[in-house]
Amino acid sequence: MLLTGREIWVLIILASLGIDFLVEYPNIIHPVAWTGKIIKAFDDHRLFSGHAGEFVNGMLSVIVAIAVWSSAIYLIHFLPLLPRMR
């Protein structure tokens, strides 16, 4: 029985939700923890001071986090989900 691409993605999402509810993910591999580390790096190494500086640092951290995850999603798009059989 072969599954279509959509069915495989549904199974992956259901499995990941099940793992999140049953087992706590270790922070070293959880994407939300990675995003927090990106934001914390900008918070620890402030480029500007004052209220305007906090705004700029916050915006930069959001832009960098979005760029990192957009790049990751773009690269994952090119990875084959299952090997093609001929």
**Residues 72, 79: Cα–Cα separation, whole Å:** 11
The pLDDT assigned to 9 comes to: 86
pLDDT over 60 at 7, yes or no: yes
Average pLDDT, integer, range 64-73? 90
Judged against a pLDDT cut of 70, whether residue 1 lies above it is answered with no
Q: Which residue has tokens 């979005």? A: 66
- Alpha-carbon gap, residue 73 to 67, rounded angstroms: 10
Write the burial class of residue 61 (CB in 10 Å: 0-12 exposed, 13-18 middle, 19+ buried).
middle
Confidence of residue 86 (pLDDT cuts 50, 70, 90): low
What's the pLDDT at 81? 63
For residue 47, what is the DSSP state? Answer: S
Contacts of 39 (CB under 8 A, 6+ apart): 61, 65
pLDDT of amino acid 31: 81
